[in-house]
Chains A and B, each alone.
Chain A
Amino acid sequence: MDKRVYLDSASTTYVSSEVMAEMLPCFNTIYGNSNSVHSYGRDAKAIVDRARDRIAHAIGAEKSNEIYFTSGGTEADNFAIKGLARAYSNKGKHIIISAIEHSAIMEACEELEKEGFVVTKIPVDSMGLVKLTDLIHEIRNDTILISIMAVNNEVGTIQNIKAIAKIAHDYSIIFHTDASQALGAIKINVQDMEIDAMTLTAHKINGPKGVGCLYLKNGIRIEPLIVGGSQERGKRGGTVDVALVAGFGKAVEIAERDMIINQQKLRSIRDYFIRSVQEKIEYVQINGHPQQKVNSIVNMSFDMVDNESLLMLLDMGGVAVSIGSACKAGSTEKSYVLQAMGLDDEHLKSSVRFSFAKNLTRSDIDYAVEVLQKAVERLRSISALTKAGRR
C-alpha cells in the first residue's frame, strides 16, 4: 500500500508534537505520585494542577477544582450518569437523555434502570436535533438529570445546549453534556451555557488516549464511580497518570488557542471534500444538519452501496473511514443515531462517516475522492439494488 489518507479523526487523532513534548518529562524525570507529600510528589502535583488550570480556563469554569480527571470520555460519562443519579436518587429517579447519545451514556442508563431508575429517550428530528418542546413535555416531578450531547459523533449536529440547560434549570434539574466531539470545534463556556456537568476527552483533540475529565460545578453532589483513594477530591480513586493529564491539559490549551484557524482550515477541507464528491459521484445524500454542524464531520449515504463493503474497499485503497461510531464497530447493528433521525434502511446501510484533521492537504482529499469514486462505481456495478430500489 502506498498512499494512505486518514479520514477518521472523529474516532481518534494523532498526538501532536507540542503535546508529546509536554508529556515526555513525566515518564522519567517528573515521575512522582501527585498524591505524595515529598518534593517528587509536589513536582508531579504542580503539573497536574497546571493541566487542571488550563482545562478549567479553556471551558470557562469558575474554579480549577471543578475538573475531575478520568480515564477518558467513557468513564466520565459513566461517572456523570451513575454518580449524579445515585447522589440525587432521594429527589427522584427519572432521567432524560436523547436517542442519539454515545453508547457510554446509553449503557450507563441501562444499568441504572436495573437499579429502579426510569430513563426517557427523547427523539431527534431528521437533522439530528433534539426538539425543545419534546424535552419539556417529558419532564416529570421526579426528573433529576438531563443529559444531552453537545455534538453528535456520527453526523456532527450541534445541539442547542444553552437552551437545553436553561430548560433543565427552570425545572431545577441537573444538566450534563457529553462534549467529547465539541471541544475545539465550538466555543464552550460552562458558566455562560449553564452547564452543571460536562464530559471531555483528550484523544479527539490531538491529545493522548486514556485520559479525559468530568467538569462538575461546585456545589453539585456526585457519588464516586471508582473508589480506593482520596485522589480527585475523593471522587475518583486511583493514582493520577501525570503524563496523560499533562498531555490532556496541553491539548486543550492548544485546541482553545488555535480554534479559529483550525476551524477555518477544517471548513475549507470539508467543503472541498463535499464539492469533489458531489462533482464525481451521483446519488449521494448528506446526513445531518445542513448548517448547525461541526466542520470536522460529514456523514454521507451512497445509494445502492453497502457501507461495510465500501469501508473495506476504501481501506484497501489506503483510505480510512468509519461506519457510524468506532465504539460500535465490528457489529452488524445499524447506526441507532441515523435510525433515530428516521433514515430508511437503504440509506442507513449505505452511510459512511468521513471526519477530518487540519493537516489534510488538497492532494489527500483528491486521492481519497478518487479511491471513493472507484469503490462506489465498483460496488454499484455489482449491486443487487437498482435506482428503483429492491426489485
Chain B
Amino acid sequence: MYSTKTLERFKNPSFAGGLRGANATGKAEDEISKDLIKIYMLIDEDGIIDNAKFKAFGGVATIVACDIACQMLVGKSLEEALSITEEEIISEFNDIPLDRKYCATLVEEAIKNAVEDYYKRLEKLEKKMAESQN
C-alpha cells in the first residue's frame, strides 16, 4: 500500500511534535476521515520560517504529508510557504493511495491557516504597541 520510503518517513518523522516558542499555528480537519492536523511555525523578524513542526491525528499518509510540508517550510518566506501546492507534496511521495490524496489538501490548508494566524498575531501586537505609545 505504501512505499518503503513513505513507511521509513512515517517511522522516523523529523518534524513531529510541538514547537517551543512557535508564533504561528494552523489547524485543518478533514470532514470524512476526521483527520486533524496542526502545523506550528517559528517565524523570525524578517518573515522567514526558522522552524516548523506538526501534530497529527491521522494515518500514515497524513503524518508523512505533514513531515514533508514542515521540511519544505523551513527557510522559506511566508509568501513562498503559501505557494506550496498539494501537487508538490504528493510528488514527494513515491506513491500515494488515491483515497489518501486528501492529506495534501489538508496540509495546504493548515499552512494557509498558520500564515493567517501569524498575521493576526502581528496585527494584534502592532495594535498593542500603538496603544501603548499613545
Contacts and interface: CB of A to CB of B under 8 A. Distances in A.
A382 B80 CA distance: 26
A383 B60 contact: no
A309 B103 CA distance: 14
Interface string A135-161: 000000000000000000000000000
B7 interface: yes
Interface residues of A, number: 21
Instruction: Summarize B's interface: helix, strand, loop or mixed.
Output: mixed
B45 interface: no
Contacts, number: 60
A312 B10 contact: yes
Nearest to A348: B34
B56 interface: yes
Given A316-B11, A382-B17, A390 B60 contact: no
Interface in B28-63: 29, 32-38, 54-60, 62-63
Contacts of A346: 34
A332 B55 contact: no
Contacts of B13: 382
A83 to B, nearest CB: 34
Given A332-B99, A332-B100, A383 B34 contact: no
B31 to A, nearest CB: 10
Given A305-B57, A306-B56, A345-B34, 14 more contacts: A304-B57, A306-B59, A308-B59, A312-B7, A312-B60, A348-B34, A382-B16, A382-B54, A382-B55, A383-B55, A384-B38, A385-B36, A385-B57, A390-B36
Interface of B: 1-2, 7, 10-11, 13, 16-17, 27, 29, 32-38, 54-60, 62-63, 99-100
A316 B11 CA distance: 8
Contacts of A385: 36, 57
Contact of A331 (B34, B60, B99): B99
A348 B57 CA distance: 13
- By CB atoms of chain A within 10 A, which of B17, B32, B34 has the most? B34
Given A382-B56, A385-B57, A309 B36 contact: no
- By CB atoms of chain A within 10 A, which of B13, B54, B55 has the most? B55
- By CB atoms of chain B within 10 A, which of A304, A305, A313, A385 has the most? A385
Contacts of A309: 10, 58-60, 63
Given A382-B17, A384-B37, A308 B60 contact: yes
A330 interface: yes
Interface of A: 304-306, 308-309, 312-313, 316, 330-332, 345-346, 348-349, 381-385, 390
A173 to B, nearest CB: 38
A128 B27 CA distance: 35
A349 B32 CA distance: 11
- By CB atoms of chain B within 10 A, which of A308, A330, A384, A390 has the most? A384
A271 to B, nearest CB: 30
B53 to A, nearest CB: 9
B57 A384 contact: yes
Nearest to B67: A382
Contacts of B34: 345-346, 348-349
Contacts of A384: 27, 36-38, 54-58
B17 A383 contact: no
- By CB atoms of chain B within 10 A, which of A306, A313, A331, A348 has the most? A306
A384 B58 CA distance: 9
A306 B62 CA distance: 10
A300 B83 CA distance: 41
Contacts of B7: 312, 316
Nearest to A380: B57
6 contacts: A309-B59, A348-B34, A381-B17, A384-B36, A384-B37, A384-B58
A166 to B, nearest CB: 41
B68 to A, nearest CB: 15
Contacts of B63: 309, 382
Contacts of B1: 330
Nearest to B58: A306
B127 to A, nearest CB: 25
